[in-house]
Amino acid sequence: MTVVFILLLAPQEATLATGIRTVYVHVGLIWTGLAGFGAAALIGALVIWQPRPAWVSWLETVGWVAFGFYTAGVIMSMIASRDNWGAVFMQEPRMAAAVNALALAVIVMIISSWSPWPRLRGALQILLLVVVLWMNYSAPRVLHPTNPIWTSDSLGIQLTFVGLFALFAGTAVYLVWYLFNRRRPDS
CA distance 187 to 55: 9
User: What crossing angle do the helices spanning 2-9 and 20-49 adopt, rounded to 10°?
Assistant: 130
Mean pLDDT of 131-156: 81
Q: Which residues of 158-179 are buried (b: 16+ CB within 10 A; e: fewer)?
A: eebbebbbeebbeebbebbeee
Question: Residue ranges per domain, the chain?
Answer: 20-182
8 Å CB contact between 59 and 115: no
What is the secondary structure of 22-82 as a DSSP string?
Answer: HHHHHHHHHHHHHHHHHHHHHHHHHHHH---HHHHHHHHHHHHHHHHHHHHHHHHHHHHHH
Position with higher pLDDT, 18 vs 81: 81
- Residue 158 clears pLDDT 90, i.e. is over it: no
Share of the chain above pLDDT 70, in %: 90
H helix and E strand count, the chain: 6, 0
CA distance 130 to 161: 24
pLDDT digits (tens, 9 = 90+) for 21-69: 888 899 999 999 999 999 999 999 999 999 999 999 999 999 999 999 9
- Residue 14 clears pLDDT 80, i.e. is over it: no
- Residue 186 clears pLDDT 60, i.e. is over it: no
CA distance 106 to 141: 25
SS3 88: coil
8 Å CB contact between 106 and 70: no
DSSP bridge pairs for 13:
17
Q: What does pTM read for this prediction?
A: 0.90
The least confident of 35-49, 113-127, 152-166 is 152-166
The least confident of 34-43, 44-53, 103-112, 158-167 is 158-167
Mean pLDDT of 4-28: 76
